[in-house]
Amino acid sequence: MDDGAKVFKALADPTRRKILDELADRDGQTLFEICTRLTMKHQLGLSRQAISQHLEVLIGAGLVIGRREGRYKFHHLDSGPLERLTDRWRRTTKET
């Protein structure tokens, strides 16, 4: 799968979009905080393992970066892949 396809696949899932929404609300969250937000704010009754797997897909697409800080692990949003995707068509529009 090319990088663009990975981004589209990652974004195709509503739970993963919710995770990105929450990271946009506050960047740098533990797995616990992400799970809490999905449960309490969105009433998504997902297991921690399921959320962890969604995060792996987002990390694989480059949309989320996992950062270790001592004994903690924080998750950060990276909108870089989204900008590259939209730039692709913006440039085409300009050329024509």
User: Contact residues for other proteins (CB under 8 A)?
Assistant: 26, 29-33, 36-37, 40-41, 48, 71-74
Nearer to other proteins, 8 or 30 (CB): 30
Nearer to other proteins, 48 or 88 (CB): 48
Beta strands in the chain (DSSP E): 64-69, 72-77
Please state the closest distance from residue 13 (CB atom) to other proteins, in A.
21
CA distance 1 to 11: 15
What Rg, from alpha-carbon coordinates, does the chain have? 15
In the DSSP assignment, the letter for residue 43 is: -
Three-state DSSP state, 48? helix
Torsion angle of alpha carbons 65, 68, 49, 79, nearest 10°? -10
Please state the closest distance from residue 36 (CB atom) to other proteins, in A.
7
Please state the closest distance from residue 67 (CB atom) to other proteins, in A.
12
Nearer to other proteins, 7 or 29 (CB): 29
Nearer to other proteins, 32 or 89 (CB): 32
